[in-house]
């Protein structure tokens, strides 16, 4: 069964992790995504709209959650699993 990807903010943040999260979701290069995203945000005449959309995305997108190890009381810290 294929695991479903989820759009989240990146753990490798520069401002809030929005553009990094988009790059991770689509498997794009983070640097180019951030450069193109910044250019689209500050494009002449559209600055307010670009900043508004970025702020909305920063509020709406969930934060990155590192994969959780299932709680297992039988496992001692440092013990190898099979």
Short-list 52, 63, 56, CA closest to 7? 63
Which residues are within 8 A (CB) of 31 and not within 5 positions of it... i.e. 6 or more apart?
none
Where do the domains of the chain lie?
Answer: 1-63
Query: Which two tokens mark 6?
Result: 């989820």
pTM as predicted: 0.69
| pLDDT tens digit sequence for 17-47 | 999 999 999 999 999 999 999 888 887 777 7
Centroid of chain to Cα 52 = 18
Torsion angle defined by CA atoms of residues 28, 31, 36 and 41, in that order, rounded to the nearest 10 degrees: 120
């Amino acid at each position: 069964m294929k695991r479903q990807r989820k759009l989240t903010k990146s753990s490798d943040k520069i401002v809030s992790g929005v553009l990094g999260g988009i790059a991770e979701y689509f498997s794009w290069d983070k640097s180019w995504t951030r450069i193109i995203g910044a250019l689209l945000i500050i494009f002449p005449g559209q600055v307010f709209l670009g900043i508004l959309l970025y702020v909305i995305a920063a509020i709406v997108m969930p934060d990155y959650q590192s994969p959780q190890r299932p709680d297992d009381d039988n496992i001692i810290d440092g013990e190898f699993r099979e």
